[in-house]
A = this chain, B = another copy of it.
Amino acid sequence: MAEEVKLFKTLSSPFALRVDWALRLKGIQYESVLEDLSDKSDLLLQNNPVYKKVPVLLHNGQSISESLIILEYIEETWKQDPLLPQDPYARARARFWAKFGDDKVLPSLWTAFISEGKEQEAALAEASENLQKLEGELNGKKFFGGDNIGYLDIALGWLANLITVLEEISSLKLVDGERFPLLLAWMKEFSDVPLIKDCWPPHDKLIPRFIAHRQVYRMKPSST
* Contacts of A124-169 to chain B: CB distance below 8 A: 133
What is the total number of residues of chain A having a CB less than 8 Å from a CB of chain B?
Answer: 21
Q: Is the CB of A89 within 8 A of B69?
A: no
Could you give, for residues 58-72 of chain A, a 1 whenever the CB lies within 8 Å of some chain B CB and a 0 otherwise? 010010111001101
Number of copies: 2
Q: Please measure, in the bound complex, the distance between the C-alpha atom of A21 and the C-alpha atom of B64, giving whole angstroms.
A: 27
* Chain A residues near B (Cβ < 8 Å): 50, 59, 62, 64-66, 69-70, 72-73, 76-77, 88-89, 91-92, 95-96, 99-100, 133
Q: Is the CB of A69 within 8 A of B88?
A: no
The 22 sampled A-B contact pairs (Cβ below 8 Å) are A50-B96, A50-B100, A50-B133, A59-B89, A64-B89, A64-B92, A64-B96, A65-B96, A66-B95, A66-B96, A66-B99, A69-B92, A69-B96, A69-B99, A70-B92, A72-B95, A73-B88, A73-B89, A73-B91, A73-B92, A76-B91, A77-B88
User: Closest Cβ of chain B: how far from A216's Cβ, in Å?
Assistant: 21
CB-CB < 8 A to A133: which residues of B? 50
